[in-house]
Amino acid sequence: MSEDKELEELKRRKLEELLRMKQQEPAVSAANVVEVTDQNFTEFTSQRGLVVVDCWAPWCAPCRMIAPIIEGLAKDYAGRIIFGKLNVDENIEVPTKYQIMSIPTILVFKNGDLVDRIVGGMARKIMEQRITRHL
């Protein structure tokens, strides 16, 4: 086998391995933040109580900056607030429906109704106040 064919075969096997690993990843992070999609969005946001959806994209620096804040809030308010993350690059129906023009955008639902929209990055204390006032 030529060197080029060996390299291509190695690349193909590695890609297949990575895809298998990706499919096995849980839909919930360690901090109990649920992966939300266009398909499960309505069911997810219709839950009783307070539901928070972080609309983000992997390339967005402010989104990456608030990710630890969201995870920390999810941990601190476990059992009281349900948190989810919606990747706007992979899901276009929800961002279109809610006219999300910039990210990060945090959508806050109470008993299935949109009660707040938080746009942009901010300090944890301010975000926490904006979200918890709906408890």
The CATH number of whichever domain residue 117 belongs to comes to 3.40.30.10
What is the band of 24 on the pLDDT scale with cuts at 50, 70, 90? Answer: very low
Q: Given pLDDT bands bounded at 50, 70 and 90, which one contains residue 2?
A: confident
- Tell me whether residue 36 is in a domain: yes
Q: Count how many domains the chain has.
A: 1
> What's residue 110's pLDDT?
97
For residue 1, the model assigns a pLDDT of 59
Q: Note whether residue 47 is domain-resident.
A: yes
Helices (H), the chain: 3-24, 41-45, 61-76, 93-97, 124-132
In a domain, residue 98? The reply is: yes
Residue 106 is assigned to a structural domain of this protein: yes
Task: Say which range, 10-14, 21-25, 30-34, 38-42, has the weakest mean pLDDT.
Answer: 21-25
Q: What is the DSSP letter of 28?
A: B
Neighbours of 48 (CB within 10 A): 9
The 10s digit of each residue's pLDDT in 70-86 is 999 999 999 999 999 99
Q: Annotated active-site positions, please?
A: 60, 63
Q: Is 75 inside any structural domain? A: yes
Residue 30 has pLDDT above 80, yes or no: no
In a domain, 6, yes or no: no
* Span of 9-13, 53-57, 73-77 with lowest mean pLDDT: 9-13
User: Whole-number mean pLDDT of the chain?
Assistant: 89
Write down the pLDDT at residue 131. 97
The backbone torsions φ and ψ at residue 70, rounded to the nearest 5 degrees and listed phi first, read -60, -45
- Whether 34 is in a domain gets the answer yes
DSSP annotation of 103 reads S
Q: Which domain holds residue 44?
A: 27-132
